[in-house]
Amino acid sequence: MVVELVIRVKCKHPGVTIAFLVDAGSNPYYFAMIIEYEDGDGDLGAVELKQSGGDRELWHPMQHSWGATWMLKLGSQLQPPFSIRLTTLTLHHTLVAHNVIPFNWQPGQTYRSRVNFKT
């Protein structure tokens, strides 16, 4: 019998805000990103994307791909700029990075927010 123990630790990145590295394979129909430097619980339970076109109040749940990578494939062209909503898994703390991914976003680029979780 193998017992696996997972311990989550709080993350601290003093003076650093959350960054979003757009995956190199992203395009107008598929969007993936790596989320970096989030403080707090050390876990994300939900990531959602809101686009500027269509229903501007609709948050689309992103799928956890692997590691810190989250992805979204809607089947239609995405309309930037994008706002990203993050919710922690354990304590359900939520924050929004408004319009953090700009209209002219590029794969491989990192976009820094103005927000982070409290530690």
The CATH class for the domain spanning 19-112 reads mainly beta
- The whole-number pLDDT of residue 106 equals 98
Q: Which residue is associated with the tokens 């601290």?
A: 12
Q: In what order do the strands lie in the sheet with 94-101?
A: 60-61, 44-50, 82-88, 94-101
pTM of the model: 0.87
Among 105, 116, 112, 117, smallest CA distance to 27 is for 105
What are the pLDDT digits (tens) for 47-69? Answer: 999 999 766 679 999 999 998 99
pLDDT mean by block of 10 residues, the chain; 119 residues: 60 79 97 91 90 82 95 94 95 95 98 92
Contact between residue 37 and residue 17 where contact means Cβ atoms under 8 Å apart: yes
